[in-house]
Structure 1
Amino acid sequence: MTDTEHPFPGSRSGSRLAAAWASLGGDPDLLTRVTAVERPGALPARLPVRETARACVGACALAAAELGARRAQSARPGRPPGSAVPAVRVDDGAVAAAFVSERHLLVDGRAPVSFAPLSRFWRTADGWVRTHANYPHHRARLLTALGTSDDPEAVAAVLAGRPAAEVEETVYAAGGLAVALRTPAEWAAHAQAAAVARRPLVERGRLDSAPARTLTPVGRDPLLPAVGLRVLDLTRVVAGPVATRTLALLGADVLRLDPPGLPELPDQHTDTGFGKRSALLDLAAGRDTFGELLAAADVVVTGYRPGALDRLGLCPEALAERRPGVVVAQLSAWGADGPWGGRRGFDSLVQAATGIAVSEGQAGRPGVLPAQALDHGTGYLLAAAVLRALTEQADEGGSRFVRTALARTAAWLLEENGPAGAPGGDRTAAAPGPAPSAPAPGAGADGSADDWLAETDSALGRLRYVRSPVSFAGGPRDWNRPPGPWGADPARWDAGSGR
């Protein structure tokens, strides 16, 4: 099959773009500005991963184009609605490469380390459990909960004699990360699934009656929708940093803040650190410094568990009271409420809990998506929500909040596919038919990932990386700075970066 280009709304995934755009509060007439290049070999899976990824990136690019047009003040009386918004083009090859950006990264020719030996699926007495132990503190808590050494064979022996649900609760109680494998039907019966289902794909709301945002005009070489805006990045791992990396591409001054003594995984920081600066700040001890940063911020993006920042007075309502007109973007694994609302989580764990791993499995073994699609897709949706909030502020004012969750994106991915996998309580069963093998990094059968790769020198070494898939006419093609060492920048804004 060959690649094809056509208007997005007319494609098979047009309904997914329309759903994402509607959840963002976007004008449906603007969907005609989007075209897609379909490459059938990209992101192969049983579930509609390619179509969902394309929709997430398309919605983000359209939100960027809309804000860019608004700031360029190019609309003229009498022109048809949306005619000033630049054309958006979404290429499956670019999307597929970006969704596995960590696999393409090279640092001085060295490939990154992905998952640690104890981050994997394990057989249990009644099925399977998925653990996450990439970070040293999570690894230590897992081993403490299991009462074993870090020898994988020893861990396997302990888990083989215990029920999956018991492992899930024991490890969670110890502060570690493990979830039992569930079918889609089993997850649908879980109280957390019900809590997630009550929420829209992207939550949006107004916090106060702050005056309308004044958007200063911008030029078109390139068109940078977020130039002059300051973003405080309080996120870690993948989804949140993907969102803020995208805002940095679009011109925002992004300052990532991390707590001292809790370093990010080096390769992960490199992959998601393009366009940003990275500083260390204890939010409790450094209240005054954070207050100074907040006073000049336009956007605050958080990836902490729901409620974790409330004790520091950093909930959306408190942030809006201290900084009227701010946009607060929140990301979580399991959603804002429900029995698992306060739990930690990662893409791989959400795949296991929600039934995705069963849907992609074969021969009684759980499978995985061809990319960390929940992380990347949710990250682009969160960036899109921020961009749309900024556009709405220019019309209506008000501090804003937006929220996304990996589990809600997972529910969207599973929609229209029915209860894939075996019914009932058989945790070892999997969906019938062949499962796709884990693909090598690339754009798919009809495109080369090389088309979307670039190289640059940096303080971390010579980097090979994937360019952003967010593309619209006249927009940026690359970030204005490479990533630097974790925590190496001062906790202050660049001079002259504000509006």
Structure 2
Amino acid sequence: MTLLPDVSAAWAALGGDPALLGRVASVERRGALPARLPVRQLARACVGACALAAAELAARRAGTQEVPAVRVDDGGVAAAFVSERHLLVDGRAPETFAPLSRFWRTADGWVRTHANYPHHRARLLDTLGVGEDPAAVAAALAERSAPEVEEAVYARGGLAVALRTPGEWAAHEQARAVAELPLVERERLDSAHARAFAPVRRDPLLPAAGIRVLDLTRVLAGPVASRTLALLGADVLRLDSPQLPELPDQHADTGFGKRSALLDLRADRSVFEELLAAADVVLTGYRPGALERFGLTPEQLAERRPGVVVAQLSAWGRRGPWRDRRGFDSLVQVATGIAALEGSAEQPGALPAQALDHGSGYLLAAGVLRALTEQADEGGSRLVRVALARTAGWLLEGAGSTGPRTDEPAPPADPWLAERDSDLGRLRYALSPVSFDGGPRDWQRPPGRWGTDPARWW
């Protein structure tokens, strides 16, 4: 028996009170996010659980017993899940994937590469021993097997994943390790005092007002989570290494409501410790173990900042042989069998959105909001973990439940788009789908220029 993803399952994974599910109403639009897998249902569930977590915290901070009603509209969810496609900067549409980020034929099947960032592109080309000419890349890959390419590129620090069927993925040791994880991992780290919240104003009702978020995430799920927390009133300060520049259009899409600063953890450690001392939430999106050398494990962060909420995102999860591998939504789709299901034997396919990224981002934000609510009752530093591969597993559980793609037209995106001026130019962008009575409709500020804000709290 297959089960469609729904908000009740997501809410249960977050430890939410099932009695609050009655506060959620959905507007279903069958043409939204058409796919063979239940992408529309997964997207609605992740957004709905996040909005309910926001409403729950809003009620507590407003001093009311009644949790605001939540409305999840598939039209708004669909627009937000492809926000990068709706983005215009002075009328210009961004490039979402670089020419070498695509599917390639191999001697025995297919691989997908990710080469949007210059350092990943260089490592891919170095492995293959060719230049940037796509024809040369195609010829080099056609001579090798997909598993061989996967391992060779990974060994050089690049990104390439062999296409697998769902059955082949299920038999993989990494799949078995990820399947043992809950959809959202939640843990109490210590016995820190209960959190005391200041009351919030009601126009709009901002449940995360006054919450300071250190955002150490990149591409795409982590920035979606922090973008959501910024919408809800959090002071979000994104920190990036000066050695890892961000793609400008990606920052324009996910930088709403945040500030962006550069900080070298090796050279400016004292600055980071000052920021941590006043932070309420630390988001990390690097592969497991990558930040340990900086003393940034959840336990170490909680020891230095009792009462902190640590939220971690990874591609492949914290267990299994791939736990320390880099990964992106498109690659997780290929490894887990999603690309095989959405395509054919002749040509692998893809989901209609980077739904693993966006869905995981809303789950991570929801986990942070629920952790803050629980801290008000029980105290304790908290840990929340989400993995793209685990979200993919949840989506695959619904395989066979939706049938063929619908021919119904997609809902128009216009009601869910807005425009405003910014330091980056005139922006057209998708509004957040996280909506509850009295809550915010738009971000308080547009994205600024990447890395130009001071590394300090307001």
TM-score by length of 1: 0.90
Distance 2:59 2:404 in 1: 46
Cα-to-partner distance string for 1:5-39 (whole Å, 9 max, x where unaligned): xxxxxxx96x6211110000000000000000000
SS at match of 1:237: coil
Other structure's SS at 2:206 match:
coil
Shift of 1:418: 6.3
1:59 is matched with which residue? 49
**Equivalences for 1:132-147 in 2 at 5 Å?**
132-147=114-129
Q: Is residue 2:440 matched to residue 1:473?
A: no
Q: Deviations over 1:79-136 (max 9, x none)?
A: xxxxx00000000000000000000000000000110110000000000000000000
Structure 1 alignment gaps of length 5 or more:
1-11, 76-83, 421-432, 438-443, 495-499
Q: Is the 8 A contact 2:35 2:404 kept in 1?
A: no
In the TM superposition, 1:338-377 aligns within 5 A as: 338-377=320-359
CA deviation profile, 1:444-490 (whole Å, cap 9, x unmatched): 82531000100010000000001100000000000000001110000
* 1:379-401, Cα deviation, whole Å (9 max, x unpaired): 00000000000000000000000
Q: Equivalent of 1:48, from 25, 38, 55?
A: 38
- C-alpha separation in 1, matches of 2:443 and 2:20: 26
Residue identity in the other structure for 1:228:
G
User: Residue 414 of structure 2 corresponds to which residue in structure 1?
Assistant: 450
Q: Contact 2:34–2:405 at 8 Å: present in 1 too?
A: no
How far apart, CA to CA, are the structure 2 residues paired with 1:66 and 1:284?
A: 39
Q: Deviations over 1:68-88 (max 9, x none)?
A: 00000112xxxxxxxx00000
> Which one-letter code corresponds to 1:28 in the other structure?
P
Are 1:175 and 2:157 counterparts? Answer: yes
- For 1:390, the equivalent position in structure 2 comes to 372
> Any idea what SS the aligned residue of 2:373 has?
helix
Q: Distance in 1 between matches of 2:76 and 2:443?
A: 15
Report the alpha carbon displacement of residue 237 of structure 1 after superposing the two structures with TM: 1.1
Q: Quick check: 1:301–1:330 contact (8 Å CA) kept in 2?
A: yes
CA distance in 2, matches of 1:113, 1:184: 30
Aligned to 1:425: none
State the Cα deviation string for residues 355-377 of structure 1 (Å, max 9, x = none): 00000002521000000000000
1:487 partnered with 2:451: yes
Q: 1:27 to 1:159 in 2, by over 3 A?
A: same
State the partner residue of 1:404. Answer: 386
- Pick from 68, 85, 88 the counterpart of residue 106 of structure 1: 88
What residue is the counterpart of 1:33 in the other structure?
Answer: 23
Tell me the alpha carbon deviations over residues 270-303 of structure 1, each in whole angstroms, 9 at most, x when there is no partner: 1000000000001121110000000000000000
Identity of aligned residues (%): 78
Q: CA RMSD in A?
A: 1.6
Tell me the CA shift for residue 416 of structure 1. 3.5
Structure 2, unaligned runs of 5 or more = none
**Equivalent in the alignment of 1:127:** 109
SS in 1 for 2:9: helix
Return the alpha-carbon distance in structure 1 between the equivalents of residues 275 and 123 of structure 2: 34
Match for 1:282: what amino acid?
D
- For 2:114 and 2:319, the matched residues in 1 are separated by 22
Whether contact under 8 Å (1:367, 1:435) holds in the other structure is no
Show the 5 A alignment for 1:41-440.
41-75=31-65, 84-417=66-399
Give the structure 2 partner of residue 16 of structure 1.
Answer: 6
Q: Does the CA-based 8 Å contact 2:215-2:283 persist in structure 1?
A: yes
The partner residue of 1:461 within 406, 425, 437 is 425
CA distance in 2, matches of 1:114, 1:435: 24
In the TM superposition, residue 215 of structure 1 has moved relative to its aligned partner by: 1.1
- Measured against aligned partners, the alpha-carbon deviations of 1:411-445 in whole angstroms (never above 9, x if no partner) come to 0000032699xxxxxxxxxxxx97789xxxxxx82
Equivalence for 1:423: none
8 Å contact from structure 1 (residues 362, 435) kept in 2 = no
Query: TM-score, normalising length from structure 2?
Result: 0.98
Q: 1:300 to 1:436 in 2, by over 3 A?
A: same
